[in-house]
Structure 1
Amino acid sequence: MFTGIVTDVGQVVSIAPRGELRRLRIACSYDADGIALGASIACSGVCLTVVAVAREGARTIFDVDAAAETLAVTTVGTWVVGTSINLERALKIGDELGGHIVTGHVDGIAKVLSREDFDDMSKFWIEAPRELSRFIAKKGSVALDGVSLTVNEVEENRFSVLLIPHTLSVTTLGGRRAGDALNIEVDLMARYAARLSVAG
């Protein structure tokens, strides 16, 4: 489990095909001694398992394997060497739940429709896959590229979010523009509520 509070921005340093898998090496500022093999790290919202850890100078490098399903339904398949990605370590018991409950199981790919900058903030209009729109509600939560955000407005399968200066500066969302693709995970509570309403 994660909270959607990004704790580092990493960079893809190599990509190697391995049959249906793709092994990615990611550089970050985390302490290598604190990353165990088998640990889960959310990489731009995608929960991936650490399969190797090393130090290279001042950087920590960790390896993850992306399976065919992950490559097909997330933006991981479009990453190249040099791609910057939001990183979050998995929650530990007792950690502060600063955002909202995020599983790291991305639901699909959303698209940035527009960006309006003002007062050091940015308002984004996002297009979600139509099948996910019923889980997105005004004042609800959504994770975009692993960042927990509050939904401001909803119009059919379009919704807006407002990014404060801090979020723009410490995540990759500051560099996003119209046309960019984003990993989207809808609020887990909204998904369960929709399921219960159907069952009832």
Structure 2
Amino acid sequence: MTKLIRRIVPILAIAAAAFAVVPTTPAQAGFFNQLVAAYNSDGREEWFWGNGNDSGYVYHKWAPIRGGIPSSGEYRLVGSANKPFLPSSGLGATSNNDGRLEVFARGYDEKLWHAYQLTPGGSWSNWQPLSGRIEPWTPLEAWLDGSTRTIHVQVQGVDGYTHVLRQLGHDCCWSTVWE
């Protein structure tokens, strides 16, 4: 009986560890392999997604013409050379009031981070932290509010509540207070 228990216990431990590592439905709420889309100022669609096979970078590609399917090469949105940004989960993208795209993700520090186009359809900024403590593997939504022309980002905080962060003015800075 002792030999049988010694054989079964390691097998059960391995099986339990295998199930414990599986994240909750990443296609619905997580970061890896989640695809989000936004439109450039000229109406071309741009796709953003994370790739769990490459240390969590965010990639993007865009359509060559308005109404076309994104087919450019795949490009990585990275941080500065001395401090690369690797998001952990959550991904959102939207167009800014002036047509620049903005991308949002949860960092390993639990904060909301963003990168944005420096000019409409142009090159990208480095990733920058905004604030907050975001629950991992939960949805992150970003949109341009039509009445205020400001971006809003909605997340689930580590406190379990839904929170929204807003731009203070169109094409401007961000609030540090979550609502």
TM-score range (shorter-chain normalised) is under 0.3
Higher helix share: 1
**Highest CA radius of gyration, 1 or 2?**
2
For normalisation by structure 1, the TM-score amounts to: 0.24
Bigger relative CO (Cα 8 Å, ≥ 6 apart): 1
For normalisation by structure 2, the TM-score amounts to: 0.26
Higher strand share: 1
